[in-house]
Amino acid sequence: MEPSLELSSKRFAHSLAQAIEAKCVTFRDYIPWADTVISRLDRPPLWICDLSTIKYRPDALRIIGGFVRSEPFEDLSGASDDFLGFLWIRYQRRELSWATFLNEAGVYSDGANGAIECEFFYTMLNELEEADFGSGVEERQCRDVKRRLEGIIDRAREFYARFKNRG
């Protein structure tokens, strides 16, 4: 897909909002990315121009959300699971403990209409707590979650790489 067309996609913007909401992408990532996009395009999308000056996370989410919810409307079903992939990246960067990952994934899944039920994560969290946070339990659970989220994680990594590579 041509870069300017992708950037006008509501699905792309929604994924960016999910990455920011999950705290995987911060202003340190999206501002330089937006500046690069602006310098490469003759007519960059307005929402990206606005985003290029915003550090405050709620304001960034408001800008992106305004674009995503504007006309013409786009079907974003299935895109909500991206949040879980971005959480996984944070876990792999060691920003989150395994227990925190499971809890945040459960909280998110409880309120989202995604492919994975919150009980999947909460059951693992209960098992981890009952095992006194044993590393063997964490390793097994980690393999199970990675297997279950494989496609979601791959999408999140590919998406995240754009912000690290500024393109």
Pair 88, 132: CB distance under 8 Å = no
Domain extents for the chain? 3-76, 79-155
pTM: 0.89
Residue-wise pLDDT for 62-114, tens only, equals: 999 999 999 888 877 666 789 999 999 999 999 999 999 999 999 999 888 77
Answer for the pair 147, 116: CB distance below 8 angstroms, yes or no: no
C-alpha 118/C-alpha 161 separation (Å) is 28
Output b/e per residue, 6-27; b: 16+ Cβ within 10 A.
ebeebebbbbbbbbbbbebbeb
CA distance 49 to 40: 12
